[in-house]
């Protein structure tokens, strides 16, 4: 049994929601354990090129959050760690935390000598698998903790030996094993976030078969300096700049055959990405095909701004089909609802605005959770479980931050009520 | 737009709900349906707009809309609809209401339109009619010919067949013509027609003959052959009926024609097509999670009568040799009942799609940009 006090709060997931919840609670005096299954914090937001509507990079805000984490002794951050068992106790939960074998440990200074000697490569998960990257690397330039990770299965014995001998700091430990720790916590905040809806399910758009049909999360990486094209928006098929880009809204969203709900961010993400395209390729024709343009609150200004840009067209009509033409371009079939005509539109690059699937839907967490029909979590004050961010409902970054702050407050109240009754 | 509505929008919506179009309210107008429809013309897509008009209860717009009839219920729209609003089923229900609202006289349209309740009447009346008339003529007594055995025209004389069916088809034909004219005027709104009606009709009939549009269907491509065989089977049966009259009055041949007579073969090939087509259509309908869409009373009445005509038609032909003459004669009465019901309700049942769909296709051809 760990020495942590019974008033420790467990936050599962270190994306923007989990980090916010952990910091807000810790800065209010609460002891917090923040666990993250990936090797560094930041979750989905760190994969964005810019946030909407302010069009600023997420690394800036994350840097401030990382400073706060580093300077707050009340937060214990455990990366590469999963909750593998959870038992209800009188005072909250007893959880087992399992940390994956750390073949590269905290002695790593991210000097990069190991990458130079390793020949093995893997598809880069940080860049939506759009490029190959060394099997031993920093997860991404802004990774925190700034330690390398090793995809051991991808490496040959020769690679592994070279990596070990290249490390001057003795940080590579091939004999490292999984570590388990059992802790008692007073309340739990679930902030496990989301993954993009799998485009392979969208046969009608040729996603996964046609190179130039990409998902919105891939577009973020194409536009990012740390992305597969060093920030240049290029067609995956031939590496040329597209002359026309089409955004297909509600790709697998608001659809009983896919995700029945609206994720609430895809319209804004496409509008944001239209700006990426126009800033980089002013001549490029951008068209967004939509059912409804959902830009609530202050985000309406973004809609107005993009709709007024030259060479940007918003056409009402859900795209039914995308096909590759013999000349390499893509054709999109839809009804232009306002004109009352069927269109076969053409584009060099098609971006599918896919929605968010809550990780909770996979049911991998060992807690007994209350979920709604779509797999989003519901607060369970009796069980002292609170849900933050996209685990609770589809929402943007700003809403997730507010939401996480609220979850922190609720979890702390739940912890206090336990203290009083004890 | 006509100033006097055919039916109030509230009544229309209520009827739509009742008759299998209840899913229309789920539609949120995304237009996926139109974009995946292989039959919709580029300048007048369907069924997205028709779904909206159905939601609003705009019966007049729908009655005057050729697109309602250009739809062949492929159900590609239903398969892809993100709201499970089943546009294919809604369009079928809209068509059944259009048949009712265009009917001449209206009460006949209502009578057949409410087939879920009136079907015993629609089948019972012709049955009672035949039984009473035959009882008056021959006391329902079967007399066997010493040489040929059972001869149907000795049980039901030809003059009776002529009187009944010429008058029925005449009346139904007249009613269909009046309704067809009404429809033809209603759909003439907006687009200018050009070219000849006759040549457009011939082109359309050829398209129908080879079932060109069914070929474009995705989700229910299998429906083509069942329908194709039924159409050509009926053409064969009708041709055989005409040829029999030729045989009797021009060639002065004696009935029944010998089984190997070429005229008989026209009818028999028709019968084989009808049986296979009927089985296929029935199979499609009975399939679990049928892609053919939801079967309503309107569909079932028509299909039931057609299948009865086919089944009894085949049975009486072989029953003359194989069955007890009494049984064969009762099957003959059921056959005549089904045929009478089919002909008498032609302008009011699903059968009327022959009229309205053909006219809509002719209109489409005449208004298409050259």
The parent domain of residue A143 ranges over: 113-166
Mean pLDDT over residues B283-301, rounded? Answer: 78
Q: Are residues A285 and A348 in the same domain?
A: yes
Residues 340-369 of A with CB under 8 A from B: 340-343
pLDDT in tens, B241-274: 899 889 988 988 887 788 788 998 999 999 999 9
At A1 the pLDDT is 43
User: pLDDT of B48-81, one tens digit each?
Assistant: 999 999 999 998 899 999 999 999 999 999 999 9
A251 and A123 together in one domain: no
My answer on whether A284 and A232 are in the same domain is yes
Are residues A379 and A323 part of one domain? no
Whether residue A171 lies inside any domain: the answer is no
CATH superfamily of domain region B9-102: Alpha-helical ferredoxin (1.10.1060.10)
**Fold of the CATH domain B106-367:** Fumarate Reductase Cytochrome B subunit (1.20.950)
Per-residue pLDDT band for B225 (boundaries 50, 70, 90) equals very high
Given A301, A329, A354, the domain boundary residue is: A354
Chain B residue with minimum CA distance to A202: B80
What 3-state DSSP class applies to A81?
Answer: strand
Distance of CA A108 to the CA centre of its chain: 25
Angle between helices B87-102 and B106-113 (to 10 degrees): 150
Is residue A208 domain-shared with residue A350, that is, in the same domain? Answer: yes
Q: Which helix (H) or strand (E) holds A370?
A: strand A370-371
Q: What domain count does chain A have?
A: 3
Q: How far is A338 from chain B (nearest CA, A)?
A: 11
pLDDT of residue A422: 46
Identify whether residues A61 and A39 lie together within a single domain. Answer: yes
Residues A38 and A183 in one domain: yes
Asked if A350 and A361 sit in the same domain, the reply is no
Residue A320 contacts B where some CB pair is shorter than 8 Å: yes
Distance in angstroms (rounded) separating the CA atoms of residues A350 and B66: 35
Between CA B288 and CA A311 the distance in angstroms is 50
Same-domain pairing of A122 and A221: no
Instruction: Please check whether residues A276 and A395 belong to one and the same domain.
Output: no
Query: Does a structural domain hold residue A221?
Result: yes
The verdict on pTM exceeding 0.80 is yes
Band (pLDDT 50/70/90 cuts) for residue B107 is very high
- Are residues A340 and B28, on separate chains, in Cβ contact within 8 Å? no
The verdict on A123 and A86 lying in the same domain is: no
pLDDT given at position A274: 98
ipTM (interface pTM): 0.90
The pLDDT profile of chain A, 422 residues, written as one tens digit per residue, is 444 455 899 999 999 999 999 999 999 999 999 999 999 999 999 999 999 999 999 999 999 999 999 999 999 999 999 999 999 998 899 999 999 999 999 999 999 999 999 999 999 999 999 999 999 999 999 999 999 999 999 999 999 999 999 999 999 999 999 999 999 999 999 999 999 999 999 999 999 899 999 999 999 999 999 999 999 999 999 999 999 999 999 999 999 999 999 999 999 999 999 999 999 999 999 999 999 999 999 999 999 999 999 999 999 999 999 999 999 999 999 999 999 999 999 999 999 999 999 999 999 999 999 999 999 999 999 999 999 999 999 999 999 999 999 999 999 999 887 554 44
Residue of A291, A333, A343 lying closest to B30 (CB–CB): A291
**DSSP secondary structure, A126-140, as one string:** GGTT-SEEESEE-SS
Edge-first strand listing for the sheet containing A319-324? A319-324, A330-336, A341-347
Q: Which residues of B264-282 are buried (b: 16+ CB within 10 A; e: fewer)?
A: bebbbbbbebbbbbbebbb
- Report the C-alpha gap between A223 and B369 in whole angstroms: 45
All structural domains of chain B with their residue ranges? 9-102, 106-367
Q: Is residue A203 less than 8 Å (CB to CB) from chain B?
A: no
Chain A residues with CB inside 8 Å of B45's CB? 335, 340-342
d(CA A301, CA A197): 27
Q: Look at residues A299, A325, A354 and tell me which one is the last residue of a structural domain.
A: A354
pLDDT exceeds cutoff 70 at B336? yes
Beta-carbon separation of B35 and A258 below 8 A: no
Overall average pLDDT of the B93-122 stretch: 94
CA distance B139 to A206: 71
Query: Does the pLDDT value for residue B334 go beyond 70?
Result: yes
Neighbours of B107 (CB within 10 A): 9
A134 located within any domain: yes
- Let me know if the fold of B9-102 is the same as that of B106-367: no
Say if residue B3's pLDDT is above 70.
Answer: no
Cβ neighbors of A117 (< 8 A, separation 6 or more) are: A159, A162, A163, A165, A166
Q: pLDDT band at B222, cuts 50/70/90?
A: confident
Q: Exposed (0-12), middle (13-18) or buried (19+): which is A297, by Cβ within 10 Å?
A: exposed
CA distance A214 to A191: 27
Look up the CATH number of the domain holding residue A62. 3.50.50.60
Peptide bond into B256 cis (omega under 30): yes
In this structure, are residues B218 and B76 in contact, taking their beta carbons and an 8 Å threshold?
Answer: yes
Read off the pLDDT band of B219 (50, 70, 90).
Answer: confident
Average of per-residue pLDDT values in chain B = 91
Q: Is there a domain that residue A173 lies in?
A: no
A255 and A376 part of one domain: no
At residue A69, φ and ψ (nearest 5 deg) are -65, -45
DSSP class of residue B28?
A: -
* pLDDT digits 0-9 by tens, B176-212: 999 999 999 999 988 889 989 999 999 999 999 999 9
Query: What is the pLDDT, as a whole number, of residue A406?
Result: 98
Read off the pLDDT band of B6 (50, 70, 90).
Answer: low
Q: Which of A254, A258, A335 sits opposite B48 (nearest CB)?
A: A335
Asked whether the predicted pLDDT for residue B168 surpasses 50, the reply is yes
Instruction: Band the pLDDT of B145: cuts 50, 70, 90.
Output: confident
Share of chain A residues as helix, strand and coil, in percent rounded to the nearest 5: 30, 25, 45
Residue A172 within any structural domain of the chain:
no
DSSP state of B18: I
For residue A255, the chain B residues in CB contact (below 8 A) are 82-83
CA dihedral A174, A180, A185, A188 (to 10 degrees): 60
How many angstroms away from the CA of B290 is the closest CA of chain A? 17
How many residue contacts between A and B have a Cβ separation below 8 Å?
A: 63
* Contact yes or no for B80/A203 (Cβ under 8 A): no
* Closest C-alpha among A258, A310, A263, A313 to residue A44: A263
pLDDT tier, B5 (very low <50, low <70, confident <90, very high otherwise): low
């Amino acid at each position: 049994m760990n020495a942590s006090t019974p008033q420790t709060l467990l936050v599962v997931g270190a994306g923007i929601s989990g980090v916010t919840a952990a910091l807000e609670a810790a800065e209010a005096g609460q002891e917090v354990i923040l666990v993250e299954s990936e090797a560094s914090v930041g979750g989905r937001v760190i994969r964005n090129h810019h946030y909407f509507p302010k069009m600023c990079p997420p690394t800036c805000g994350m840097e401030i959050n990382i400073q706060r984490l580093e300077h707050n002794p009340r937060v214990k951050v455990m990366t590469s760690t999963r909750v593998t068992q959870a038992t209800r106790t009188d005072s909250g939960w007893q959880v087992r935390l399992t940390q994956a074998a750390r073949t590269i440990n905290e002695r790593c200074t991210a000097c990069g000598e190991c990458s130079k000697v390793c020949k093995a490569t893997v598809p880069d998960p940080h860049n939506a698998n759009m490029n190959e990257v060394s099997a031993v690397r920093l997860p991404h330039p802004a990774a925190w903790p700034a330690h390398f990770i090793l995809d051991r299965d991808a490496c040959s014995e020769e690679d592994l030996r070279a990596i070990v001998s290249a490390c001057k700091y003795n940080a590579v430990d091939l004999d490292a094993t999984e570590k388990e720790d059992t802790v008692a916590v007073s309340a739990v905040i679930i902030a496990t976030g989301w993954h993009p809806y799998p485009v392979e399910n969208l046969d009608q758009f040729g996603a996964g078969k046609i190179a130039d049909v990409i998902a919105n999360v891939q577009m973020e990486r194409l536009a990012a300096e740390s992305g597969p094209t060093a920030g240049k928006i290029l067609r995956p098929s031939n590496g040329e700049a597209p002359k026309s880009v089409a955004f297909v809204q509600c790709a697998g969203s608001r659809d009983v055959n896919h995700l029945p709900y609206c994720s609430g961010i895809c319209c804004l993400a496409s509008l944001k990405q239209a700006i990426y395209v126009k800033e980089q390729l002013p001549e490029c024709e951008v068209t967004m095909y939509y059912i409804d343009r959902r830009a609530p609150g202050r985000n309406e200004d973004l809609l107005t701004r993009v709709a007024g840009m030259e060479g940007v067209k918003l056409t009402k009509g859900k795209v039914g089909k995308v096909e590759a033409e013999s000349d390499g371009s893509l054709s999109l079939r839809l009804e232009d609802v306002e004109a009352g005509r069927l269109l076969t539109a053409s584009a060099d690059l098609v971006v599918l605005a896919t929605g968010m699937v809550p990780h909770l839907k996979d049911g991998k967490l060992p807690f007994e959770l209350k979920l709604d029909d779509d797999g989003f979590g519901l607060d369970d004050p009796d069980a002292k479980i609170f849900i933050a961010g996209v685990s609770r409902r589809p929402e943007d970054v700003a809403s997730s931050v507010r939401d996480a702050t609220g979850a922190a407050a609720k979890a702390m109240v739940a912890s206090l009520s336990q203290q009083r009754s004890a | 737009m006509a100033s006097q509505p055919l039916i109030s929008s509230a009544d229309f919506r209520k009827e739509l709900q009742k008759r299998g179009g209840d899913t229309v309210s789920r539609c949120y107008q995304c237009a996926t349906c139109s974009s995946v429809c292989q039959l919709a013309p580029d300048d007048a897509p369907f069924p997205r707009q028709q779904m909206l008009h159905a939601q609003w209860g705009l019966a007049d717009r729908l009655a005057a809309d050729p697109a309602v009839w250009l739809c062949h219920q492929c159900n590609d729209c239903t398969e892809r609809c993100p709201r499970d609003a089943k546009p294919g089923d809604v369009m079928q229900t809209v068509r059944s209401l259009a048949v009712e609202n265009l009917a001449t006289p209206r009460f006949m349209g209502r009578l057949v339109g409410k087939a879920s309740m009136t079907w015993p009447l629609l089948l019972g009346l012709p049955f009672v009619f035949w039984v009473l008339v035959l009882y008056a003529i021959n006391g329902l007594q079967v007399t066997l010919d010493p040489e040929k055995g059972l001869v149907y025209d000795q049980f039901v004389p030809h003059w009776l067949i002529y009187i009944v069916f010429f008058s029925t088809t005449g009346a139904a034909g007249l009613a269909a013509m009046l309704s067809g004219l009404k429809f033809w005027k209603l759909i003439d709104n907006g687009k200018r027609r050009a070219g000849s009606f006759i040549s457009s009709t011939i082109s359309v009939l050829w398209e129908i003959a080879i079932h060109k549009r069914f070929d474009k269907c995705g989700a229910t491509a299998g429906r083509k052959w069942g329908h194709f065989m039924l159409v050509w089977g009926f053409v064969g049966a009708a041709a055989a009926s005409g040829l029999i009259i030729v045989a009797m009055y021009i060639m002065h041949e004696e009935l029944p024609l010998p089984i190997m007579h070429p005229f008989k073969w026209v009818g028999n090939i028709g019968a084989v097509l009808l049986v296979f087509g009927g089985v296929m259509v029935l199979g499609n309908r009975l399939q679990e999670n049928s892609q053919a869409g939801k079967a309503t009373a309107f569909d079932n009445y028509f299909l039931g009568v057609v299948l009865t005509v086919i089944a009894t038609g085949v049975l009486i032909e072989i029953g003359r040799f194989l069955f007890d003459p009494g049984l064969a004669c009762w099957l003959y009465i059921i056959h005549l009942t089904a045929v009478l019901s089919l002909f008498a309700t032609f302008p009011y049942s699903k059968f009327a799609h022959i009229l309205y769909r053909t006219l809509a296709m002719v209109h489409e051809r005449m208004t298409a940009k050259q």
